[in-house]
Structure 1
Amino acid sequence: MRICIYGAGASGGHFAVRLARAGHDVSVIARGPHLAAIRQNGLQLKSGHDVLSSVVAASDMPNALGPQDLVIVATKATALPTIAQNIAPLVGEDTLVLFPQNGMTWWYPVGLPARHPAPPVIPIFGLARPFLAAMRPDQVLGGIIYSANEVEAPGVIKNNSPAHNRLEIAAIDTVSADSREGGNPAQDSGSPHSRGRADAPERIAAIRNALAQAGILSPDPGDIRAAVWTKLVNNMSGSTIGLATRSTSDGAGKDVALSEIYRRLMREGLSIAAAHGYPLDLDPDRMLARLLNHKASILQDYEQRRPMEIAEIVLAPLAFARAAGLATPTLDTVAAIVTKLAKDRGLVSADVEVAL
């Protein structure tokens, strides 16, 4: 399979090494010292006691690589506006494009079943139009990453969850299903394309199989939007507490007061998801016990002064809560604190305060 990893940072670099070692034709889009190191020495992955290396084609120009079978957009959500303007050369008529970002994602309203409440207008949803100018909705896959990674040095990825690496993927296009159920396909957000592929389930199954053979679990998540809410509720709880306290995610389980804040955030997140049509079977105490001894990506970004996913992980669920008329006092408080931290370092854009 011809696979391009757009953004070979922490998670993307991890996937690139494993997929290349599994025999796939892997290329990466990277930049700066990381790109230079990959070109010179390849990519190295440290996972537990294993050190894995792979040589992959690397460029900072998508048009140098050409159309792919699969593109995995492995950047943070903050990089998506630039990618939307540059991804087209990688996308052919049969390319599938996987978006496994944290937080609320650009494709959520695309083909959203009409039986669900209309989502609020938030900045990331504006990316649907430029992305769908480059690909059809049936070419878009949603993805959820459960894997703790960091860039240890240029060209070197460290995986902090060697026994827990999972990438759930599924099609986002529900237009056909909506038509059968009397829904409204017009929620397709302006795509100029309409042709789908009858073999989409087989192609998705082949990607899951490729990931599994590469050592990355890839179970069928079922409803991909429910899976997005599951990860988002986790991130808006454990990750934001870790950011506010500058600690690893499991810090919330080691302090009585923080544990209670975590439970309150989880309960509010579950109420928000349910109000928008996605009731989730998550137990806050069970989730608290599963938190990893790992700095969440949002804290890594804060410490390294990189653009932060505050809008997608923190303010998006707050906007959904307000659209549903829900009171979320704990999320309101935590959102104000972490947004202030990000603003003070200039790590968020001017429009992130829409939900506050």
Structure 2
Amino acid sequence: MKVAVMGAGAVGCYYGGMLARAGHTVTLIARPTHVQAIAANGLRMETKTFDEQVRLAASSEASAVRGTDLVLFCVKSTDTEAAGAQILPHLAPDTLVLCLQNGVDNAERLQAVLTNHTVAAAVVYVATEMAGPGHVKHHGRGDLVVEPSAAAVAPALVAAAVPTVVSDNVRGALWLKLILNCAYNAVSAITQLPYGKTAIGEGVQDLMRDVVNECLAVAKAEGVQVAGDVNAAIRMIFDTMPGQFSSTAQDLARGKKSEIDYLNGLVVRRGQARGIATPANRVLWSLVKLLESKQG
């Protein structure tokens, strides 16, 4: 396949790099500092099983999506519409756009921009960070859950060592991921501690339970059938990613705006619309927003 990664940060670099290693033609659309490093040395992929310089193309222009079969859409939730408008003039009619983003409504928001194109939602379970320009570090997992409209690319992803499941309930899987993010991300961001240390903090398990219960109440009111066992998924994050800092923590550490409005903030807004109290989510959301304003 010919693949472009729009918004090639840690998540996009990881999945784009895995596809490039499997022989696909991949272009990462990233910040100039990453583009320069990748052009000079390739993408350094430091993972649990290998540490390689992977050769692929890189660009800072949205027009690099032209002529691709697949676009991995990996921008922050705050940039969904703007990035969609940037790639729209360059997309071929049959290009599949696969959303590898946090939050539960990005595919719907992107589809509203890319009205004549196929946009598919995916749930991403991977722990990664950018350790430097053109250097992605992988801490764990790497599996995807995708909608049936993306089933055609699933075999290529699996062959590239990206475990991929096609599901009829991606909405429920996105909500499961949202609940995990709501439970872990803000606490990791506020404390600047990894999951393993936050989860054993005094009172944190009770806080996480309150956050999860609020999320489940909102999901039920929204008619969402949350996929899987929430409590088991919460434990799995602790077991498989104890050293990982949340993406929200990484954003705050770098002085960047986080996605908290699309995580705990979304639960607060949806809960308010449904008449459901979400005090634990509201506190976490408001504290992260305060930390963001402090940086400004």
Q: Confirm or deny a common fold (TM above 0.5).
A: yes
Amino acid at match of 1:85: A
Partner residue in 2 for 1:310: 260
Asked whether the equivalents of residues 144 and 162 of structure 2 are also in contact (C-alpha less than 8 Å), the reply is yes
Partner residue in 2 for 1:165: 142
Partner Cα distance (2:294, 2:146) in 1? 36
Where 2:129 maps in the other structure, the secondary structure is: strand
Q: Mapping of 1:156-305 within 5 angstroms?
A: 156-161=135-140, 164-171=141-148, 200=149, 204-280=150-226, 285-290=231-236, 291=238, 292-293=241-242, 294-305=244-255
Partner residue in 2 for 1:116: none
Identical counterparts, % of pairs: 28
Shift of 1:84: 2.0
Distance change (3 Å), C-alpha of 1:90 and 1:147: farther
Provide structure 2 residue ranges, at least 5 long, that are not aligned to the other structure: none
Shift of 1:323: 1.3
Shift of 1:53: 2.6
Amino acid at match of 1:148: A
Asked whether the equivalents of residues 248 and 259 of structure 2 are also in contact (C-alpha less than 8 Å), the reply is yes
Q: How many residues align?
A: 292
Partner residue in 2 for 1:100: 100
Shift of 1:131: 3.3
Partner Cα distance (2:95, 2:182) in 1? 32
Shift of 1:65: 5.0
- Residues 269-312 of structure 1 show CA distances to partners (whole Å, capped at 9, x for unaligned) of 11111110113266554344222220011100000011211211
Partner Cα distance (1:279, 1:223) in 2? 8
RMSD of aligned Cα (Å): 1.9
The TM-score with structure 2 as length reference comes to 0.92
Shift of 1:38: 0.9
Partner residue in 2 for 1:63: 63
Asked whether the equivalents of residues 68 and 90 of structure 1 are also in contact (C-alpha less than 8 Å), the reply is no
Partner residue in 2 for 1:43: 43
The TM-score with structure 1 as length reference comes to 0.77
Farther off after superposition, 330-339 or 303-312: 330-339
Q: Which 4+ residue blocks in structure 1 deviate beyond 4 angstroms? A: 281-285
Asked whether the equivalents of residues 259 and 288 of structure 1 are also in contact (C-alpha less than 8 Å), the reply is no
Partner Cα distance (1:218, 1:305) in 2? 33
Please tell me whether residue 336 in structure 1 is matched to residue 286 in structure 2. Answer: yes
Provide structure 1 residue ranges, at least 5 long, that are not aligned to the other structure: 109-124, 172-199, 347-356
Partner Cα distance (1:142, 1:49) in 2? 28
Distance change (3 Å), C-alpha of 1:253 and 1:62: closer
Partner Cα distance (1:205, 1:53) in 2? 29
Asked whether the equivalents of residues 17 and 52 of structure 1 are also in contact (C-alpha less than 8 Å), the reply is no
Please tell me whether residue 155 in structure 1 is matched to residue 155 in structure 2. Answer: no
Partner Cα distance (2:83, 2:153) in 1? 22
